[in-house]
Chains A and B, each alone.
Chain A
Amino acid sequence: MADEEVDELRARLERYVGEPMGPPAVAPDPVNVPMIRHWVDALDDRNPVYLDEEFAATTRFGGIVAPPAMLQAWTMPRPRIEGIAERGGAPDEIEFDNPIPVLDEAGYVGTLATNSELEFVRYLRPGDHLHLTIELESISSRKTTSLGKGYFLTWVTTYMTGDDEVVGRQMFRVFKFDPSTIGATS
């Protein structure tokens, strides 16, 4: 692929920077004890502030709180299981205009998650009903790595409660690469 074409691709991607990566999303359910219990058992995390109401009331949290790392779990979209493998794991068809399909079409079909930064402003309590916005923060210039050539995309998800109180954020970075360029030197 000539450099001129690659620059053209990066230029085409520029319009997505600073824009939403997807539509605002609302958690299907408020923070709730059954889902906390499911998580606590799955990860065998016995921190008593997650399920022991009596104990949690004695702590600075004043009652049960959700495990902080569940932040993303509350807003995960409801999946349509049929055809999920054929969609590459996407929970449902994505119709939102975003740079991923543009990169896929240009041959940058590989995806590697490289960084995650979760920030917790406060712990969530049962009843908190989250919604989120996702903004594409940056797209790098074309980079050459051991996986081949590609672009680093960074987006930031802001998690809010019903009254728009920001309770957490996540920065997420992925490398979208062209697997056929593995071993390329520049």
Chain B
Amino acid sequence: MTTGRTRSLRGSEVAVGDELPAFELPVTSTVIVAGAIASRDFMPAHHDAEFARGQGAPDMFMNILTTNGYVARFITDWAGPEAMIRKIAIRLGAPAVPGQPLRFTGQVTRADEEGDERVIEVAVRAANDLGDHATGTVVVSLPRG
């Protein structure tokens, strides 16, 4: 088991235009089921491929809570443990299905001083070969530093 980073970015280290380190998640049935059950989402479409196909989906697909969870992880893997996520706003598109890696990319679009914090807006995208799975913005605050 790996240990997460303990160093955090200081607000002063972040600038508009900065790219976040890209992250590729190898999506498997296990990844989808683990996320669904950890989020207590027992909808069969998130663990039963046959059920999902019966509803017109290509395969079982990731639930929205898990998508939000990975978006949050993508942000804090970059910003560190002092980062506090204030908002995750996403538009949902192509499903995340087994065998289709999800590629997370992000870019800082705003960075404003607010008291002793720096409030940063990141444009995020998680895409696979089917298209954009989730696109939107995350607002995260960091100690100003």
Q: Which of A15-23, A111-119, A132-140, A154-162 lies on the face that meets chain B? A: A111-119
Residues of B within 8 A of A68 (CB): 72, 85, 88
User: In the complex, are the beta carbons of A114 and B92 less than 8 A apart?
Assistant: yes
Residues of B within 8 A of A113 (CB): 64, 92
User: In the complex, are the beta carbons of B69 and A116 less than 8 A apart?
Assistant: no
Residues of B within 8 A of A43 (CB): 34-35, 38, 66, 69-70, 73
Q: Which of A4-12, A78-86, A98-106 lies on the face that meets chain B? A: A78-86
Q: Which of B13-21, B39-47, B103-111 lies on the face that meets chain A? A: B39-47
Residues of A within 8 A of B143 (CB): 60
User: In the complex, are the beta carbons of A115 and B91 less than 8 A apart?
Assistant: yes
User: In the complex, are the beta carbons of A116 and B89 less than 8 A apart?
Assistant: yes
Q: Is A39 an interface residue (CB 8 A)?
A: yes
User: In the complex, are the beta carbons of B3 and A48 less than 8 A apart?
Assistant: yes
Interface 0/1 of A118-161, CB less than 8 Å to B: 11100100000000000000000000000000000000000000
Scan residues 32-84 of chain A and give those whose CB is less than 8 A from a CB of chain B.
35, 38-39, 41-49, 55-56, 59-61, 67-70, 72-73, 76, 79, 81, 84
Given contacts A89-B45, A117-B88, contact A48 B73 (CB under 8 A): no
Contact of B81 among A49, A72, A76, A116 (CB under 8 A): A49
Chain A residue nearest to B137 (CB atoms) is: A117
User: In the complex, are the beta carbons of B69 and A117 less than 8 A apart?
Assistant: no
Please report whether the interface of chain B is mostly helix, strand, loop or mixed according to DSSP.
mixed
User: In the complex, are the beta carbons of A81 and B85 less than 8 A apart?
Assistant: no
Q: Is A107 an interface residue (CB 8 A)?
A: no
User: In the complex, are the beta carbons of B44 and A85 less than 8 A apart?
Assistant: yes
State in angstroms the CA–CA spacing of A44 and B76 once bound together: 12
User: In the complex, are the beta carbons of B45 and A47 less than 8 A apart?
Assistant: no
Residues of B within 8 A of A79 (CB): 40, 42
Chain B residue nearest to A115 (CB atoms) is: B91
Q: Is B48 an interface residue (CB 8 A)?
A: yes
Contact of A39 among B38, B77, B85, B92 (CB under 8 A): B38
Report the minimum CB–CB distance from A50 to chain B (whole Å): 8
Residues of B within 8 A of A81 (CB): 42
Residues of B within 8 A of A42 (CB): 34-35, 37-38, 66
User: In the complex, are the beta carbons of B65 and A72 less than 8 A apart?
Assistant: yes
Interface 0/1 of B1-18, CB less than 8 Å to A: 111111000000000000
Residues of A within 8 A of B72 (CB): 45, 67-69
Chain A residue nearest to B3 (CB atoms) is: A46
User: In the complex, are the beta carbons of A59 and B81 less than 8 A apart?
Assistant: yes
User: In the complex, are the beta carbons of A69 and B71 less than 8 A apart?
Assistant: yes
User: In the complex, are the beta carbons of A45 and B89 less than 8 A apart?
Assistant: no
Interface 0/1 of B63-87, CB less than 8 Å to A: 0111011111100110001101111
Query: In the complex, which of the residues A35, A44, A115 has the most CB atoms of chain B within 10 Å of its own CB atom?
Result: A44
State in angstroms the CA–CA spacing of A109 and B65 once bound together: 23
Chain B residue nearest to A113 (CB atoms) is: B92
User: In the complex, are the beta carbons of A55 and B6 less than 8 A apart?
Assistant: yes
Residues of A within 8 A of B (CB): 35, 38-39, 41-49, 55-56, 59-61, 67-70, 72-73, 76, 79, 81, 84-85, 89, 91, 113-120, 123
